[in-house]
Amino acid sequence: MWPTLLSLLSLGFCVSLTIWAAVGAYDKPSLFAWPSPVVPLGQTVTLRCHSRSPLKRFRLFKRHGTSLPELQGYHVNNFTLRAVTREHAGSYTCSGGYRSPHSDPLQIVVTGVFTKPSISAHPGPLMQEGRNVTLRCHSPLLFDKFILHQENSTGHFHTRGETFTCGHAAADFFIGPMTSETAGTYKCYGSLSHSPSEWSAPSDPMDIIITGLSTKPSLSAQGGPVMKSGESVTLLCSSKRAFHQFHLLREGKNLGRLLAGGRDPRGAVQAAFPLGPGTPAHSGVYRCYGSFNHSPYKWSDSSDPLLLSVTQSTTSTCPSTMDPHTTEEAQVPQGHSSQLHLLLRLSLAFIYTSILLAVLLCHWSSNNHSHLTVMDGAPREDRTVNSEDSPAEDVIYAHLNHRTLSGRLFTPSPLSPMHLSADPSIYEEFDVNQDHAEH
């Protein structure tokens, strides 16, 4: 009886193993990529084939691509692709046995094949909860498609969206309303239709932050908001709420974050942001925010704005003539400087010409006036003086003939007063040359 029982047990065990192997052989495996199916050029990625069957060896296949040496033969469920190149980009499947079905295809994307695009946020990267934000990817290259990826808390990326550009160099992604899930770090990539598994390098990261979730901190400048160039600049951000870290922004640009490192005299936690020796470039409007470690993309409300003013040193009031950079001329571009010199020269020439014309006009007017008073040339005809003319209107004519005597220019002596003749129709005529010859 015992031999029969043992024979039956052995037969049942073999049948169960056969059934289990048959079921496992046709079990569809799954294929995953670690750490991510998006792999930069030269990096390493591991493909893991998982199945519920008892098989210990799997085979990896690359579809519609080059046959790679590391894919030949049977391996354990881990396949490591080292120093990834463009040839590694494509679709992969794995199989758990000769008669096992293939897994669903897994797309391995190789990035860094093209130059990176740019990403920008509109109206800005800091948004209140419930508001919408638009992320724009743009590039001088005419990519067929832009892909937006969001980094989650574990550091892995997942695709947020894809937009076909239709021949344009930019694509917009609408994100919102803002929640804890939509806040995070975003990057975008570009690709071409003839190589969909080859992407550009990622854009610079863009952090989308939700603000207004906590009470605002306060911001102040050590030593006051107005200081001279060269003085040390330190901004203090403090709050009664125990934030883990503070963030400092200057006119929307994030200058970094600091852990809360102490308390002020009132007991509030604070962080000191040293900006170094002050220069006029430090002047501007500053704000700070607070956040907690468990929610790095959730910030407090903004502090009141702080207007920092750093003025130039007043040790020297007169610019040095030896340093061309201290003159106003050095601050004018070279092209504008030559135009300014030309305008100055034209202005001076116009002024000099105007003065010369005025002098000539005055001289011409004076000559005309003297010509009416002193007549040069032959004796005039008799002029009848009306008795009705007033004495002030009487005109005295004098015939002056200037000649040179003994090679010298003769300067006539002042004339003696002339007396009108009793006959009002006769005027007296004097010949200076004749009078001089008689003497």
pLDDT (tens digit per residue) in 314-345: 554 444 444 444 333 334 444 444 565 566 77
Q: In angstroms, rounded to a whole number, what is the distance separating the alpha carbons of residues 426 and 345?
A: 60
pLDDT computed for residue 389 by the predictor: 43
Residue 84 scores a pLDDT above 90: yes
pLDDT (tens digit per residue) in 160-199: 778 887 777 899 999 878 888 889 999 999 999 888 999 9
Q: Domain 26-110's class? A: mainly beta
Q: In angstroms, rounded to a whole number, what is the distance separating the alpha carbons of residues 134 and 151?
A: 17
Cβ atoms of 161 and 173 within 8 Å: the answer is: yes
What is the distance, to the nearest Å, from the Cα of residue 91 to the centroid of all Cα atoms in its chain? Answer: 41
**What's the topology of domain 115-210?**
Immunoglobulin-like (2.60.40)
Q: In angstroms, rounded to a whole number, what is the distance separating the alpha carbons of residues 223 and 202?
A: 43
More confident site: 374 or 361: 361
DSSP code at position 435: H
Q: What is the dihedral of CA 244, 249, 254, 256, to 10 degrees?
A: -40
Give the number of other Cβ atoms within 10 Å of residue 223's Cβ.
Answer: 12
pTM strictly above 0.85 = no
* Range(s) of the chain covered by CATH 2.60.40.10: 26-110, 115-210, 213-311
Residue 217 scores a pLDDT above 50: yes
Q: What is the DSSP string of 371-391?
A: HHHS--SSPPPP-PPPTTS-G
Q: What is the DSSP string of 119-167?
A: EEEES-SEEETT--EEEEEE-SS--SEEEEEEE-TTS-EEEEEEEE-TT
Examine residue 217 and say whether the peptide bond preceding it is cis (omega within 30 degrees of 0). no
Indicate the CATH number for domain 213-311. 2.60.40.10
pLDDT (tens digit per residue) in 19-60: 444 444 457 889 999 988 999 999 999 999 888 766 667 888
pLDDT computed for residue 409 by the predictor: 38
Mean pLDDT of 231-255: 92
pLDDT computed for residue 158 by the predictor: 66
Mean pLDDT of 229-241: 92
Question: Of 147, 99, 91, 142, which Cα lies nearest the Cα of 119?
Answer: 147
Query: Encoding tokens for residue 304?
Result: 């009141």
